Each structure stands twice: as C-alpha cells, then as structure tokens.
Amino acid sequence: MTHQLIIKNIAKGFYAPIYFLHGEEPFYIDLIEKFATSHIVKEDAKDFDQTILYGKDIDLQSVINSAKRFPMMGPHQVISVREAQNFKKFDELIQYAKKPQNQTILIFSFKGKKLDTRILRKLKENVEFFESKKLYDNQIPDWIKNVLLGRGRSIDPKAAQMLVDFLGNDLSKMNKELEKLILVVPENQKIDAGLIEQHIGVSKDYNNFELQSAIASGDRLRAYAIATYFAENPKNHPVIMTIALLYNFFTKLLLYHSISDKSIAPKILGVNPYFIKEYQNAAKLFPMRRISVIISGIRLVDMKSKGLGTVPLKQKDLLQELLLVIFD
C-alpha cells in the first residue's frame, strides 16, 4: 500500500490495528506516523491516549502490555513505537496481531532496512505494511517537481537539479527547503535557479550542475573557475560529491555512446530530456576510449580523496587533478 493511500484512509477514519512501517527511506515512515498521531487522537486527549515508545529503551512485551490497555478519553489510543529496528524478535507482536485490542492503533517505525521476510510472512493478520524505499538520485528531481505541484508551485529542471546537487538524497532535509520556498515564492511564479540562489543559498553559477555543464561543453576556463570556488568553499562543496557526480556523468556518457536510437537516450540514461543536449555535446568531445581513461582517473582521485595509498590531499589539489584527468 502506498503512503498516500494509508494517509487517505486514516483521514477518513479507516484505521488498521497495527501499522508496520519499514525500509531504508525514513521520510515516508515519519510522514505516516506524524499524520496518524496528529489525526487519530484529539488534541485534548493526547496526554492520555497517545504514547511514544522507543525500541532501544523498552522490551516488546511491555509494548504489547500497553497496547492491551483501553483508551481513557477517546475511542482510540495511539502507541507509536519508534526505533523498532532495535527489537531482535517479534514473537510477542505475532501473537498479539492474531487478536489485537481494537481500540488501540499500534504504529511501528522500523528504519534503515526492510523487515525480515520470515517475520513478514508470520505477521499476516491485522497488520498494514508499508515499505519505504530509498529513491535513486535520478528520481529525486521528479520527486521535487511532484511535491511542489501538490502545493501549487512549479520548478524548472535546472533549479531542481541544483537542489539535488546541494542537498543530496535526504528527503527530510529536501522537504524542509521546499517548505521554505513554498512560503516565499508566489503560486504563479516558477522556481528557477535565481530563486534557489536567493532563498537556499546555492550559487546559480558555481555548483556541480554548472561544473558538469562546463565540462560537457569543453569550457575549461569556466570549469577551473568553478573548481577554484569549490576549493575556497569546501564545506558547501565537498569534493566527494563532485567526484561522485562526475563519475556518474561519464558512466552515463559511455552508455550514451552505445545507444543506437538516441531518441530513447533520456529513458535509458534516467535523465530529464532537458539535459540530454549536454550528453550530445559531450559525446562529440569525449570518445568512448577517452571516457574509459577518464573513469579510471576519477576512480584514482576518489581513492586519493579517502587517503588510500597516498597521503591525504587538499581539496584544491584533488579538484585540479580531477580536471586534469578530464581535460588531459
């Protein structure tokens, strides 16, 4: 079941006795739990009928004992069990699930991994499962677009990619920044690179997106200027992120060369069609054999950035070596 459907059902008053939220992406787990706790129990009853427990501080039998009690003020009580990944076994829950207390809504937040399939098979009765899967990096721009569309806003592809390059794949962190944009940008104004620079603090001229663009067009001067800016601002532009982005770009460029029907390249590469021109331009500058050499060089710089096989180098030196590998 999707997180949207679970939230929709809760909003309508259709509750499952037990929710088990598990998976690598914590954002949706927190979203469902927050919605459930804020909607099922009325505000004036929360002190009596809402309980938050932590798996690292309590045993599962104590959780079940709490679940068997009846609510004091309203028709339901909600028990949220956070950090449920700390429980080694779920035998007590398996037994409780066979005949749960109908006035209790029990929510387990099991983060960082998927629940063992052997336990999943045993927890069949009266349990609503939701697996929160981690998004791939190339899925996050569309996620940003959809979140903003749901709030009556729009964003251009470049601005969305700037956010991904700056914030990574932390959806909770990303959502906070989107909420900030929603507050300050009118509904009829499209969010562009300038607004991202103004309100999020990402330079529209000096970022990983622009570095990739400079490399794809063979603009050495601009690429070195951006690298110099990164070296002077290492906290906001860690070299490990730049290495990962360029490795990903050249790996996809190698794949682009092998695609006979270029019209399907965006789908195969997993990139927005808006950016495919960069791959077209870069393919003219970097033949397949050259790309293989570049990828090997990027891997070597990556090892040096981690201090493997050499003394740790400064970010400035690593960035210069990275560009030498590409433009040699």
Domain boundary among 200, 227, 254: 200
Whether residues 218 and 250 share a domain: the answer is yes
**pLDDT tens per residue, range 194-239:** 999 999 988 889 999 899 999 999 999 999 999 999 999 888 889 9
Q: What is the DSSP string of 222-273?
A: HHHHHHHHHHH-TTTS-HHHHHHHHHHHHHHHHHHHH-S-GGGHHHHHT--G
Q: Are 196 and 157 in contact (CB under 8 A)?
A: no
Q: What is the per-residue pLDDT for 1? A: 80
H or E segment at 107? Answer: strand 104-111
Q: What CATH number did the domain enclosing 302 receive?
A: 1.20.272.10
User: What was the pLDDT predicted at 138?
Assistant: 83
In terms of pLDDT, which residue wins out, 125 or 81? 81
Q: 235 and 189, same structural domain? A: no
Question: Which range, of 77-86, 157-166, 182-191, 300-309, averages the lowest pLDDT?
Answer: 300-309
Same domain, 12 and 126: yes
Same domain, 27 and 126: yes
Task: List the domain range (segments joined by +) for residue 268.
Answer: 208-327
Which CATH number do you get for residue 171?
A: 1.10.8.60
Task: Please give the Cα distance from 50 to 25 (Å, whole number).
Answer: 25
Is pLDDT above 70 for 155? yes
Q: Within the chain, how many helices (H) and strands (E) appear?
A: 17, 5
Q: What is the mean pLDDT of residues 128-133?
A: 96
Q: What is the four-CA torsion angle of 270, 168, 305, 247, rounded to 10 degrees?
A: 10
Residue pair 128/105 in contact (Cβ under 8 Å)? The answer is no
For the stretch 142-151, pLDDT in tens is 999 999 998 9
Q: Based on the domain organization, do 17 and 100 belong to the same domain? A: yes
Residue 17 and residue 38 share a domain? yes
- pLDDT over 80 at 69, yes or no: yes
Same-domain status, 190 and 252: no
Which CATH number fits the domain that encloses residue 126? 3.40.50.300
Q: Over pLDDT 90: what percentage of the chain? A: 82
Note whether 213 and 319 are same-domain residues: yes
- Nearest residue to 243 (alpha-carbon basis) of 227, 224, 264: 227
Last residue of a domain, one of 200, 222, 253: 200
Same-domain check for residues 195 and 230: no
Domain count, the chain: 3
Residue that is last in its domain, among 154, 174, 200: 200
Q: Is the pLDDT of residue 17 over 80?
A: yes
Predicted confidence at residue 169, as pLDDT, reads: 87
Closest by Cα among 110, 97, 134 to 30: 110
Residue of 269, 22, 46 whose CA lies nearest to 137: 269
Collapsing DSSP to helix, strand or coil, 175 comes out as helix
Locate 15 and state its tokens. Answer: 């509750």
- Range with the lowest mean pLDDT among 27-36, 132-141, 247-256? 132-141
* Domain shared by 192 and 237, yes or no: no
Q: How confident is the model at residue 168 (pLDDT cuts 50, 70, 90)?
A: confident
Would the pLDDT of 51 be above 80? Answer: yes
Confidence of residue 254 (pLDDT cuts 50, 70, 90): very high
* Residues 39 and 114 grouped into a single domain: yes
Residue 257 has pLDDT above 70, yes or no: yes
184 lies in the same domain as 215: no
- Average pLDDT over the chain, rounded to whole? 93
Residue 311: pLDDT band by 50, 70, 90 thresholds?
low
Residue 309, pLDDT above cutoff 70: no
